[in-house]
Amino acid sequence: MSIHHEVAVVILNWNGEKFLQRFLPGVLANSNETGVAVYVADNGSTDGSVKLLRSRFPLVNLILLDRNYGYAGGYNRALSQIDSDFFVLLNSDVEVPGGWLNPLRSFMRSNPNAAACAPAIMDIARPECFEYAGAAGGFIDKFGYPFCRGRILSEIEQDTGQYNQSIEVFWASGACMMVRANTFWDAGGFDDHFFAHMEEIDLCWRMLNMGYSVWSIPESKVYHVGGGTLPNNNPYKLYLNYRNSLFMLHKNLSKNAFYQTIIARLLLDWLSAMAYLVRFQLKFFGAVAKSHYHYYRDISRLNSFRSSFRHPKTNSAKVIYHRSVLFDFFILRRRKFSELKF
């Protein structure tokens, strides 16, 4: 039986030997408070990750998985072996400074209705700028397109203190998020079908629908490399984002918004696919088509989830942007979070 810790910092690693060499020493040095344990869960790596961990970091709690289950499945299997009040899910390509953990832990201790929180995610290459994967807190628009406080689509803001206040958000970044362990399991954990990408948004939406809240705590900052597993121009990553977005919408939308949102999103996806086609980006066009095929194939499973996981205490409506972030960005030229009309 595993030893109980108040906080378990859990790094899910897959062929990230270079990131472990670079960032794990800092995680260990800056996460050594009482009640905190650091784990590395290896997701079936085929590089030298496990050998490195055993030789250079023998005191790290090591969990070995037999193959790559992706972000969702890997974390589900790893966290099921850890006894902790709070899980901190931390990417292997994140640098953490001294004192990064205390604001998150203090907030979660003081706010029992908070299911999860995240620090501000900064760009390690440009530390004065927010980073794409989470910035200062995540949101979605009425069509399910995610964006952040400090990052809308590809437009990334410089941090001038404009988002220093802690606020309720729609989602916390999977690059670094603290989640209450019992709420994580009550919500069903991550959806293994996602494999990777958007699983944290899906989880946060489920927790919001259960009546909990999700927060951004910019008093804490961490520094993210980004794109460490799949680069942004990878067709497989595009496929996962399109497919998982449809999965997430189908599972979590309210009954009133369901049909109009799904139909609109499918049409918007095909407009994107046509744009890829006319630019002869055939692999990207194929990624969108494949994502829709797999969505239609899984509709029965998604319907079963909708019928079984309903909760009246939804908190999601107040943190959904009830406009189109694409329209605001491209037509109205609103490129900063502060310019959006919440």
Question: Strand, helix or coil at 297?
Answer: helix
Give every CB contact of residue 284 below 8 A, 6+ residues apart in sequence.
Answer: 235, 238, 273, 276
The CATH architecture that domain 1-92 belongs to is Alpha-Beta Complex (3.90)
Token pair for residue 124? 């390690």
* pLDDT in 10s for each residue of the chain, 342 residues: 579 999 999 999 999 999 999 999 999 999 999 999 999 999 999 999 999 999 999 989 999 999 999 999 999 999 999 999 999 999 999 999 999 999 999 999 999 999 999 999 999 999 999 999 999 999 999 999 999 999 999 999 999 999 999 999 999 999 999 999 999 999 999 999 999 999 999 999 999 999 999 999 999 999 999 864 555 579 999 999 999 999 999 999 999 999 999 999 999 999 999 999 999 999 999 999 999 999 999 999 999 999 988 666 777 888 999 999 999 999 999 999 999 998
User: How would DSSP label each residue in 13-73?
Assistant: ESS-HHHHHHHHHHHHHT--STTEEEEEEEES--SSHHHHHHHH-TTSEEEEESS--HHHH
Helix (H) / strand (E) element for 283: namely helix 282-297
Among the listed residues 227, 225, 218, 248, the one whose alpha carbon sits nearest the alpha carbon of residue 137:
218
The domain ranges of the chain are 1-92, 235-324
Residue type, 77: R
Strands 151-152 and 61-65: unpaired
Is 304 exposed, middle or buried, given 0-12, 13-18 or 19+ CB atoms closer than 10 A? exposed
Sign, CA torsion 303/308/312/314: negative
pTM: 0.96
Question: Strand, helix or coil at 339?
Answer: helix
CA distances, 200 to each of 75, 248, 278 (Å): 11, 10, 33
CA dihedral 184, 101, 51, 84 (to 10 degrees): -40
- The CA distance from 94 to 134, in Å, is 12
CB neighbour burial string for 42-80, b if at least 16 within 10 angstroms, e if fewer: bbbbeeebbebbeeebeebbebebeebbbbbbbbbbbbe
Among the listed residues 221, 205, 202, 223, the one whose alpha carbon sits nearest the alpha carbon of residue 213:
205
Beta-carbon-side half-sphere exposure of residue 138 (alpha carbons within 13 Å):
29
Token pair for residue 258? 């369901």
Question: Strand, helix or coil at 316?
Answer: coil
